[in-house]
């Protein structure tokens, strides 16, 4: 999606970032905040100004699309169910999310 090759409902885009609906639908709001340039999760989280911009964007999207509350998260590795090598941030919400783990 960050390269524009996949279809998706784009919520925001500029020269550095894209926000779009995740194809998963576990909760009503499931957005991905993605840098346009390819980087791993580790590279994204260590990217300084870019990570600052993407985290601000994630908070803004959360307040816009899940005004009653949201979570921001990222998965690192197989045990965390990371399925994409391209760095990204999840914004989830739209309903009561409950506990973190059962």
pLDDT, tens digit, for every residue of 14-49?
999 999 998 888 899 999 999 999 999 889 989 999
The larger pLDDT score, comparing residue 82 to residue 4, is at: 82
- Per-residue b or e along 21-34, where b marks 16 or more CB atoms closer than 10 Å to that residue's CB: bbeeeebebbbbbb
Q: Report pTM.
A: 0.85
CATH architecture of 10-93: 2-Layer Sandwich (3.30)
**What is the biggest distance separating any 2 CA atoms in the chain, rounded to whole angstroms?**
40
In angstroms, rounded to a whole number, what is the distance separating the alpha carbons of residues 98 and 16? Answer: 33
């Amino acid at each position: 999606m960050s390269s524009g090759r996949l279809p998706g409902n784009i919520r925001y885009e500029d020269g550095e970032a894209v926000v779009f609906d995740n194809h998963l639908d576990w909760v009503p709001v499931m957005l991905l905040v993605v840098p346009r340039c390819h980087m791993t999760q580790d590279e994204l989280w260590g990217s300084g100004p870019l990570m600052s911009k993407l985290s601000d964007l994630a908070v803004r999207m959360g307040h816009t699309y899940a005004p009653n509350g949201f979570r921001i998260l990222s998965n690192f590795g197989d045990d965390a169910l990371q399925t994409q090598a391209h760095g990204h941030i999840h914004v989830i919400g739209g309903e009561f999310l409950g506990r973190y783990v059962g």
